[in-house]
Structure 1
Amino acid sequence: MPAWSDYKAEAKARGALALELYMVRSMPVKGPEALAEMLPEHLAYQSEQEAAGRLAFAGPLSDPSGEQIRGEGLIIYRAASLDAARALADADPMHSSGTRTYEIRRWLVNEGSLQLELGLSGQRVALK
């Protein structure tokens, strides 16, 4: 297996985007009441990170059946390093309070597409 930096350099050399982001899988430790209690602080923190350009995407994950929400979430950060991304995750009130724990991984975005549709007169935004 190549080292991360070697793989990233190879991806760039072959023309891939090689955009390094950080994936945080956030898992509940405490029950639904504790999650609900911390939710406003968590959402305010996420909003701050989004406004600062550090939050790319975030939201809840379903259970394996795809039918229920059990308190897990996925957060994608933009950061200068794994340590900087870990600091962002540590500062999330859900994590700093012990309501959730997390695992963090580097994510190298190489392929795919994203389409944003703006309807100016109708003030409509669609992400596809």
Structure 2
Amino acid sequence: MSQSDTSQPTAQDMMASMLGLNLYVVITQPVRGEGIAERLKDHLNYQIKLEQEGKLFGAGPMFGEDDDRPEAGLIILRAKDRDEARALADADPFHSSGLRSYTLKRWKLNEGSMTFKVNYSDQTMSVL
């Protein structure tokens, strides 16, 4: 097959068939340490509320290479646009109280996969 063979899809052709789901990534950093433990339950309840509303794709702490303690947090939101994503991030109790600051980025999810296992017999589920 020569390099001029046009039967192979172009990169643009390949990308056109990918998911192309726009999500918003919130990278959250501590501003001050005191007070975080006291607001953690409020933050977690807010995350669970977003999850139940279908607005939270995923969230959790991020760790450095040699550290067992989280150094930042990552929150991935489903939002119709940047303004909605910013409003959701602003309402997080860690952010609204000034305990954490954040950076907001739009992320286009193209590749990857997700695998679930559902056991009918005991009605359990796991993410693999």
TM-score of the pair, normalised by structure 1: 0.84
1:84 shift after superposition: 0.6
Q: Give RMSD over aligned pairs.
A: 1.8
Match of 2:80? 80
TM-score of the pair, normalised by structure 2: 0.84
Match of 2:111? 111
Match of 2:127? 127
CA distance in 1: counterparts of 2:14 and 2:95, whole angstroms? 34
CA distance in 2: counterparts of 1:38 and 1:78, whole angstroms? 24
SS in 2 for 1:56: strand
1:71 shift after superposition: 4.8
CA distance in 1: counterparts of 2:110 and 2:23, whole angstroms? 11
Match of 1:51? 52
CA distance in 1: counterparts of 2:121 and 2:21, whole angstroms? 33
Q: Identity of aligned pairs, percent? A: 44
With over 3 angstroms needed to count, the CA separation of the structure-2 counterparts of 1:43 and 1:12, relative to structure 1, is farther
SS in 1 for 2:79: coil
Count of paired positions: 117
Cα pair 1:35 1:94 within 8 Å, conserved: yes
SS in 2 for 1:16: coil
Please tell me whether residue 61 in structure 1 is matched to residue 44 in structure 2: no
Match of 1:40? 41
Cα pair 1:11 1:17 within 8 Å, conserved: no
The letter of the residue matching 2:23 is: L
1:14 shift after superposition: 2.1
CA distance in 1: counterparts of 2:71 and 2:109, whole angstroms? 26
Match of 2:24? 22
SS in 2 for 1:111: coil
CA distance in 2: counterparts of 1:56 and 1:47, whole angstroms? 11
- Structure whose residues are more often helix by fraction: 1
Larger Rg: 2
CA distance in 1: counterparts of 2:125 and 2:52, whole angstroms? 18
Any stretches of 5+ residues in structure 1 without a counterpart? Answer: 1-9
Any stretches of 5+ residues in structure 2 without a counterpart? Answer: 1-11
